[in-house]
Chains A and B, each alone.
Chain A
Amino acid sequence: MLIKSSKQVSRWRNPKRFPVSRNSGASPASRIEAGVTWPEPEGATRVQHLQVYRYDPDSGRNPRIDTYAIDRDKCGPMLLDALIKIKNEIDPTLTFRRSCREGVCGSCAMNIDGSNWLACIRSLDEINEPATVYPLNNMDVVKDLVGDQTHALAQYTSIKPWLRSKTPAPTRERLQSPEERKRLDGDYECILCFCCTSGCPSHWWNGDRFLGPAVLLQAHRWLVDSRDEATGERLDELEDPFKLYRCHTILNCTRTCPKGLNPGKKIAEVKLMIQQRRS
Chain B
Amino acid sequence: MSEWHRRDPLNRNPASARASALYRAIGLGSAKSGAHHWWLQRMTAVALVPLLLWLVVSLLAHARGGHQAVALWLGRPAVAVTMAVLLVALFWHMKLGLRVIVEDYVHADRVKFAALAAVDLVCVALMAIGVFTSLYLAFR
Task: Mark A residues whose CB is within 8 Å of B.
Answer: 23-25, 140, 142, 148, 150-151, 153-155, 157-158, 202, 205-206, 208-209, 236-246, 248, 271, 274-275, 278
Contact = CB atoms under 8 A, between A and B. Distances in A.
A241 B105 contact: no
B7 interface: yes
Interface of B: 1, 4-12, 20-22, 24-27, 29-39, 100, 103-105, 107-108
A140 B33 contact: no
Contacts of A241: 31, 33-34, 37, 103
28 contacts: A23-B10, A25-B7, A25-B9, A142-B4, A148-B6, A150-B1, A150-B4, A150-B6, A150-B21, A151-B24, A151-B25, A154-B21, A154-B24, A158-B22, A158-B25, A202-B104, A205-B104, A206-B104, A239-B31, A239-B32, A239-B33, A242-B103, A245-B38, A248-B104, A274-B35, A275-B35, A275-B39, A278-B35
Chain A facing B: main interface SS = helix
A32 B29 CA distance: 37
Give the top 7 A-B pairs by smallest Cβ distance, nearest first.
A154-B21, A154-B25, A241-B34, A240-B30, A245-B34, A151-B6, A155-B25
Contact of B6 (A140, A205, A209): A140
B114 to A, nearest CB: 17
A158 B35 CA distance: 20
A276 B20 CA distance: 35
B32 A236 contact: yes
A151 B23 CA distance: 10
Given A148-B4, A241-B34, A208 B12 contact: yes
A209 B103 CA distance: 11
B48 to A, nearest CB: 18
Contacts of B107: 23, 205
A274 B36 CA distance: 10
Contacts of B22: 154, 157-158
B31 A240 contact: yes
Contacts of B26: 158
Given A24-B9, A157-B25, A240-B30, 7 more contacts: A148-B4, A150-B4, A240-B32, A245-B34, A246-B104, A248-B100, A248-B104
Given A241-B33, A245-B38, A148 B25 contact: no
